[in-house]
Amino acid sequence: MQADRQLPGAGRRVQLMATCLCDAFYADTARATVEVLEHLGCIVEFPSDQTCCGQPAFNGGDWAASRKVVRHALRTFAGELPVVVPSASCAAMLFHGTLLAFEREPDLPAVRQLGRRTWELADFIVNALGVRTWPGRYDARLAFHRSCHARGTETGAAAVALLSSIAGVTVVPVGEAEQCCGFGGTFSVAFPNISASMGALKLDHVRAAQPDLLVAVDMSCMMHLGGLAEKEGRPIKTQHLAQVLRDALMNRGQP
C-alpha cells in the first residue's frame, strides 16, 4: 500500500499522466479521465513532454534504461501537484517500482516525492477527494477486472464502490477474481503461450458471469483480454472505469 500520500490542495489542481496506451490506442480513456476530474472540480494540467513511466524497461530487467525514462518523468512532472494516472500499473510503477530501481541512486528522494503524489484514478477519486458515490445512470451488468498491479492498494475497492453506486449498474462477481489476465507487458512477448492460456482462463470466468461489459482500470488488461476474445471469434465489450463514469454523467436526470 502506498504510504504517506500527498492530498490535493484547496485549488484541486492536478497533473494528468495519460500513459503510453492512451497515446497509442485509448485516447478516449484520457478524454474521459479529464471530463471526470473536471466534473469533480479539478483543474487538469497536461504536461506535453510526458512519455512513459519507465515500466517496460523495468520489467524487462533493463533498469538503467528505465531510470532514464523515470528521470524524464521527474522533470516533466516537477512540482507539488498530485499526478493522476488512469492506470494502476503505471501508478504502481511510480510509487513502488521506481523505489527499487533507484534504491542506490542519489535522486531517490526526488523519486520518492513523485511517488507520494502519484494516484491511480479511482483511488484518487475515493481516497483523495472523498467521493464515494457517483451520479447519473448506466444500465448494465458489469464485471470488474482486478489488475495485478492494483494489489496491495486501495484501487480495487475504490473502483467497485464507485461502480456499485451508479444507478442501473449491477456489478457481477467473477470467479478467481485475483487471477492475472496473463498480459504482464514483456511477459506476454517472452512467454506468449502461457500468457494466452492465462488470458483464456480469465475469459472463461468472465463469460461465466454473463456481464454486458468488462470494466478495468488498466488498458493493458483490456487490450489483452479483448484481443484474445477477438481471436477466439467471441468478442467481449470492454471499457475503462473512466469511460463508465463519464458515460454515467451523460445520463444524469434519467429515472
CATH number of the domain residue 157 falls in: 3.40.50.11810
pLDDT mean over 1-14: 78
136 and 244 housed in the same domain? yes
Residue 188 within a domain: yes
Residues 48 and 119 both lie in one domain = yes
Q: What is the pLDDT of residue 186?
A: 84
pLDDT tens-digit series, residues 22-47: 999 999 999 999 999 999 999 999 99
Same domain, 114 and 198: no
Residues 104 and 142 reside in one and the same domain? no
Domain contains 41: yes
- 141 domain-assigned: yes
Last residue of a domain, one of 107, 127, 147: 127
Q: Which of 83, 99, 127 is the last residue of a domain?
A: 127
Which domain does 105 fall in, by range?
13-127
Residue 5 is predicted with a pLDDT of 83
Q: Are 69 and 57 in contact (CB under 8 A)?
A: yes
The pLDDT tens digits for 172-204 are: 999 999 899 999 888 898 899 999 999 999 999
Residue 1 has pLDDT above 70, yes or no: no
Rounded to whole angstroms, what are the CA distances from 109 to 7, 48, 75, 113? Answer: 18, 24, 14, 6
Mean pLDDT of the region 242-255 = 89
Residue 149: its pLDDT value, please?
A: 84
**112 and 214 both lie in a single domain:** no
Output the pTM of the full model. 0.95
Q: Are 122 and 138 members of one domain?
A: no
DSSP three-state, residue 13: strand
